[in-house]
Chains A and B, each alone.
Chain A
Amino acid sequence: AQSVTQLGSHVSVSEGALVLLRCNYSSSVPPYLFWYVQYPNQGLQLLLKYTSAATLVKGINGFEAEFKKSETSFHLTKPSAHMSDAAEYFCAVSLTNTDKLIFGTGTRLQVFP
């Protein structure tokens, strides 16, 4: 069965610093992996997705993630944090041959001036 684990429920960075949000997955078959962002009291917005093409995936708002099969990881990064990046970030994996998504527990990103 597929699952995702997000290490660190809270991450705090200074404005301009590197953002690194960790996600590890478990899947017996090549997975489809996603990062979503949720701003307060809003739904989720797709940041980026990995669907077995390029291992380095670029998303919106300057975010990118790298699929590393050997490490079963799909960490989300951004070179320079902005105040507007403060939000909840969810990693998700899709169940094989279905549209269902399994979400991680989320990581709250705080950005300090």
Chain B
Amino acid sequence: GAVVSQHPSRVICKSGTSVKIECRSLDFQATTMFWYRQFPKQSLMLMATSNEGSKATYEQGVEKDKFLINHASLTLSTLTVTSAHPEDSSFYICSADLAGEPLGTQYFGPGTRLLVL
């Protein structure tokens, strides 16, 4: 149980294009979903927290117009990297929490590797 999927697993795009990454909780309804960014050999940096039906809460320094988050249902959140540039190349990981679990317990997706040329 508590499986989170991400699609695509890997994407290569040209500079200036937009890329959408999907995060789905497959066998549970997630009250909250989180989006992280991970640079090579570094830790995870929380980008934003999203709740179904409301606007995402972005961490300081994360451009909300650059990284659009939509949380359309209790099982789906999307991250759109708009007008992507090479510096946006990174590993993006989503996670979801499960109602009834202790605060902080998150289930992670397998990640999406974005390469912007």
Residues of A at the B interface (CB closer than 8 Å) are 32, 34, 36, 41-46, 49, 51, 90, 92-95, 97-101, 103-106
Q: What are the interface flags for B22-34 relative to A under an 8 Å C-beta threshold, 1 for contact and 0 otherwise?
A: 0000000000101
Number of B residues with CB within 8 Å of any CB on chain A: 23
**Set B4, B6, B32, B105: member contacting A49, Cβ < 8 A:** B105
B106 within 8 A of A: yes
A100→B103 CA distance, assembly (Å): 8
A96→B50 CA distance, assembly (Å): 18
Task: Specify which chain A residues have a CB less than 8 angstroms from the CB of B103 in the assembled complex.
Answer: 32, 94, 97-99
Task: Specify which chain B residues have a CB less than 8 angstroms from the CB of A36 in the assembled complex.
Answer: 108
Shortest distance from the beta carbon of B108 to any chain A beta carbon, whole Å:
4
Closest to B106 in A: A101
Task: Specify which chain B residues have a CB less than 8 angstroms from the CB of A106 in the assembled complex.
Answer: 42-43
Shortest distance from the beta carbon of A104 to any chain B beta carbon, whole Å:
7
Q: Closest 8 CB pairs between A and B?
A: A94-B104, A43-B108, A51-B102, A44-B108, A43-B110, A32-B104, A103-B43, A43-B111
Number of A-B contacts (CB under 8 A): 63
A36→B111 CA distance, assembly (Å): 15
10 A-B pairs with CB atoms under 8 Å apart are A41-B113, A43-B6, A44-B108, A45-B108, A49-B102, A51-B102, A94-B102, A97-B103, A100-B104, A101-B46
- B110 in contact with A42 (CB, 8 Å): yes
Q: What are the interface flags for B97-117 relative to A under an 8 Å C-beta threshold, 1 for contact and 0 otherwise?
A: 100001111111111010000
Task: Specify which chain B residues have a CB less than 8 angstroms from the CB of A45 in the assembled complex.
Answer: 108
B49 within 8 A of A: yes
B62 within 8 A of A: no
- A99 in contact with B49 (CB, 8 Å): yes
B44 within 8 A of A: yes
- A44 in contact with B44 (CB, 8 Å): yes
**Set B32, B102, B110: member contacting A32, Cβ < 8 A:** B102
**Set B32, B97, B111: member contacting A42, Cβ < 8 A:** B111
